[in-house]
Structure 1
């Protein structure tokens, strides 16, 4: 049977990318680390790491083994947390990835109450509109707003996402209200993320519309400000523009059509048989906070 310490050493080498750094973290010399890795490879009968003078990388077998080692170590952490009674008072650091606007509007304002309930837990919140590599980036979980496809990750739905076509009253006054989807082609549209198509659900089912516009940006927040300023028509989530719809700064366009209902707000995390308590507790916190009818829809 493989020595558990060898698994911890292997995981540390992969996480740090260096036998020297792993040895420093674990209190072993680089020579001891190298010997233990070789012993592990000999026992398994396969090479786990590719070593060069500059870097260490995983082989294909090593990547699959590493994913499973993480699951084993996470299970041990969960078992120890259970025995130690840490489920009510988390420790360590919780590293989270979230979309920029959503994280700023609907995660950051609520962190105070969560951290007050768990004062020994630190939060590392990384905001990005790109899909990060959860395992490679060392993230415990990611908050994603997307139509999730099958992958090696586990997703837990947090809340529905409602997206509507909208424009500023000043734009409608100048250009008129579109009569139907095809009528959008004569309007200024504000596509996000390099002209990604709009997947819509309407009276006759699902359809795809490819918006054309002269404003190109990788920033969702730029599109938000542009539609409020009267630049054109955009497809926006109600969590993002709810206040503007309520106070009249934006009006809904073609209300019979909304963004695909397959897009949801989800917590995504590596495939693990046992979630670390800190991850489970944070996901439970968000699930209760948002609910089946999120507060931005009430």
Structure 2
């Protein structure tokens, strides 16, 4: 057997959970599987697995090796499929994580179009607002709305994200419109989910930070959305979330010269690999084309999205 086959056996042992289970899947005896794993460890000069009578566990080196091996095997599988089919046809199932509201509003409605163009692909879409461990939890990619810092992951910007202060006409009729940041902080109810507090805004005098205060505390951005629509207070919301409500007058922009930093964007984030799986590349390209630098959800909002001259430097 070749060294490549030894790597394949190693990956199968990890996915199957034991050498005997891997042997059954590959039609090999447990003794042969064990021998090939030992040969691989000897060639690499390190232990990949910790063995007990009941189970196996990867060493730190084994974990890193496994992550790279499955990437290599996926690339080889795609290369073979390319030659067999005469085209780079993406196939398989994508495991994708995305923010709850964004996934519901701007990913799910477009999946029919994606599946029509890619009939051999499926998508396992997990919606949650916390950042997942992409590598540790086995995701192919995650969609994130953030100001991303340096990491071991690769990120591709899919679209800008504009976040503006807004309130319902009913709230403004009762409380009046804030005339300044000081007025906003002293006299108004500011709504935010726990992970969106404090607000960091950019305005004519530069960056300002506001700690929100409201009669409701929640970990759900969707709860905040419903509260601002119901007239509970003022919120900092993304235009992808409230574009229709701004256009039909259910919400009104307040303090339009202030908004969140334009460094925040919509990103596709995926493990740093030399070879990007075709299924991942196809999905990211689909989203990048669907959204782009002027996303559809910002249509008709030009008047609100024009940044004051002093804040353009932050863009």
State whether structure 2 residue 62 is matched by structure 1 residue 46.
Answer: no
TM-score of the two chains, using structure 1 as the length reference: 0.91
Please tell me whether the aligned partners of residues 161 and 264 of structure 1 are also in contact (alpha carbons under 8 angstroms).
yes
In the alignment, the residues of structure 2 paired with residue 190 and residue 22 of structure 1 have an alpha-carbon distance, to the nearest angstrom, of 53
TM-score of the two chains, using structure 2 as the length reference: 0.86
Q: CA deviation at 1:143?
A: 0.9
1:93-150 Cα distance to aligned partner (Å, 9 max, x none) = 1221111111111111111011011112222111111211212222211111111111
1:142-176 Cα distance to aligned partner (Å, 9 max, x none) = 11111111111111111011111111111111122
Q: Secondary structure at the match of 1:262?
A: coil
Q: CA deviation at 1:197?
A: 1.6
In the alignment, the residues of structure 2 paired with residue 191 and residue 133 of structure 1 have an alpha-carbon distance, to the nearest angstrom, of 25
Residues 201, 13 of structure 1: alpha-carbon distance in 2 compared, 3 angstrom cutoff = farther
Query: Where do 1:126-275 residues align within 5 Å?
Result: 126-186=126-186, 187-194=188-195, 196-275=197-276
**RMSD value over aligned CA atoms?**
2.3
Q: CA deviation at 1:16?
A: 4.6
Q: Secondary structure at the match of 2:142?
A: strand
Residues 64, 249 of structure 1: alpha-carbon distance in 2 compared, 3 angstrom cutoff = same
Please tell me whether the aligned partners of residues 195 and 210 of structure 1 are also in contact (alpha carbons under 8 angstroms).
no
5+ long unaligned stretches in structure 1? none
1:239-272 Cα distance to aligned partner (Å, 9 max, x none) = 0010111111111121111111111111111111
Aligned equivalent of 2:79: 79
In the alignment, the residues of structure 1 paired with residue 81 and residue 287 of structure 2 have an alpha-carbon distance, to the nearest angstrom, of 21
In the alignment, the residues of structure 2 paired with residue 17 and residue 193 of structure 1 have an alpha-carbon distance, to the nearest angstrom, of 39
Please tell me whether the aligned partners of residues 159 and 291 of structure 1 are also in contact (alpha carbons under 8 angstroms).
yes
Please tell me whether the aligned partners of residues 195 and 212 of structure 1 are also in contact (alpha carbons under 8 angstroms).
no
* Bigger shift: residues 116-125 or 12-21: 12-21
In the alignment, the residues of structure 2 paired with residue 199 and residue 96 of structure 1 have an alpha-carbon distance, to the nearest angstrom, of 29
* Bigger shift: residues 151-160 or 69-78: 69-78
Q: Secondary structure at the match of 2:125?
A: strand
In the alignment, the residues of structure 2 paired with residue 207 and residue 18 of structure 1 have an alpha-carbon distance, to the nearest angstrom, of 56
Q: Secondary structure at the match of 2:217?
A: coil
